[in-house]
Amino acid sequence: MTELSQIPLAGVIGYPVAHSRSPALHGYWLKRYDLKGHYIPMAVEPQNLERVLRTLPDLGFFGANITLPHKEAILSIADVITDRAALIGAANTLIFRKDGKIHADNTDGSGFIANLRQNAPYWDPAAGPAAVLGAGGAARAVVAALIEVGVPEVRLVNRTRPRAESMRQDFGAKVVVYDWTHVGEMIEDCATLVNTTSLGMTGKADLPLNLDRLNQACLVTDIVYTPLKTQLLIEAEDRGNTVVDGLGMLLHQAVPGFERWFGLRPVVDDATRQAVLAA
């Protein structure tokens, strides 16, 4: 019989954590590939986060995903932080290294791009500016990734303008801040439009955005995935724009962690989507 200590363990740490789809996703992949391993949801209060993280490697954990409210706080606990996690100011994927060090990375941005590449293969980020709605944690990951893949300009608009201004300072001259009153002209010649706010989510108001001036070649995507088709995506699709929903970002951001902990790079396909939606 295999010793428990030889079976790779990983999990997601949040507070609360019951809403997380990560256990369903990793559990599905473990079963699909017939791998030994367990992925466990862990509700950890902020004051216990560091103690729990320092204990997990001894229990056989190879790493963990980090979700709300710990994604920023983890940076002051981790021993090694990737450049992109530092720039974003948050991490979502931890590797517990053999030397005892906790390595923190942020895979939200690469997951965002992988989702677009998979579902809109003709999308060319360099074809024009990208319009990004929102300036929270998710926006920071999205903007970092868009700049990395070569967008010529990121146009940011946020309800609270100082938050967008502070992103401009962190991300540099490619970021231009707009007011909501000018959002029509902001989106006019964009190649990409991304909603990173929570607006459009089930139970929340829809985005107050008029798409009349949006050009038809613009790819429209939302990081919200409940509902899968937000009002933004429905309206954009009605106009003939290519749209990509946010579920794929959630699935793709999980790939690097799974590969590292369980030793196999999992695919993201329709069966994966269905497994997570059914959970």
Q: Which residues are annotated as a binding site for shikimate?
A: 20-22, 67, 92, 108, 225, 253
Residues near 231 by beta carbon (within 8 Å), at least 6 away in sequence: 200, 206, 207
Count of chain residues binding ligand ATR (CB under 6 A): 14
Report in angstroms how near the CB of residue 135 gets to ligand ATR at its nearest: 5
Residue with tokens 């293969």: 121
Helix/strand number for the chain, H first, E second: 11, 12
Quick one: DSSP state of residue 257? H
Separation between Cα atoms, residue 253 and residue 78, nearest integer Å: 19
Q: Are 112 and 148 in contact (CB under 8 A)?
A: no
Q: Which residue has the CB atom at the shortest distance from ligand ATR?
A: 136
> Rule CB under 6 A: which of 85-144 touch ligand ATR?
134-139
Q: By C-beta, is 65 or 262 nearer to ligand ATR?
A: 65
The yes or no reply on residue 232 touching ligand ATR (CB under 6 A) is no
Q: Are 65 and 254 in contact (CB under 8 A)?
A: yes
Only one of the segments 6-14, 21-29, 159-167, 271-279 lies at the binding site for ligand ATR (rule: CB under 6 A); that segment is 159-167
Q: Which of 31, 36, 71, 174 is catalytic?
A: 71
List for the chain the helix, strand, coil content (%; round to 5): 40, 20, 40
Only one of the segments 11-19, 155-163, 248-256, 271-279 lies at the binding site for ligand ATR (rule: CB under 6 A); that segment is 155-163
Q: Are 135 and 158 in contact (CB under 8 A)?
A: yes
Active site residue 101: no
Only one of the segments 44-52, 92-100, 156-164, 233-241 lies at the binding site for ligand ATR (rule: CB under 6 A); that segment is 156-164
- What is the per-residue binding string for ligand ATR in 31-70, x denoting contact by CB under 6 A? ----------------------------------------
Rg (CA), the chain: 19
Three-class SS state of 256: helix
Annotated binding site: 20-22, 67, 83, 92, 108, 134-138, 158-163, 223, 225, 246, 253
Inter-CA distances, 263 with 29, 36, 42, 59, 258, Å: 12, 10, 22, 19, 7
> Rule CB under 6 A: which of 175-204 touch ligand ATR?
196-199
Q: Where are the beta strands (DSSP E) in 119-259?
A: 130-133, 154-157, 175-178, 192-195, 219-222, 243-244
Q: By C-beta, is 22 or 158 nearer to ligand ATR?
A: 158
Question: Which residues are at the interface with ligand ATR (CB under 6 A)?
Answer: 134-139, 158-160, 163, 196-199
Q: Which residues are catalytic?
A: 71
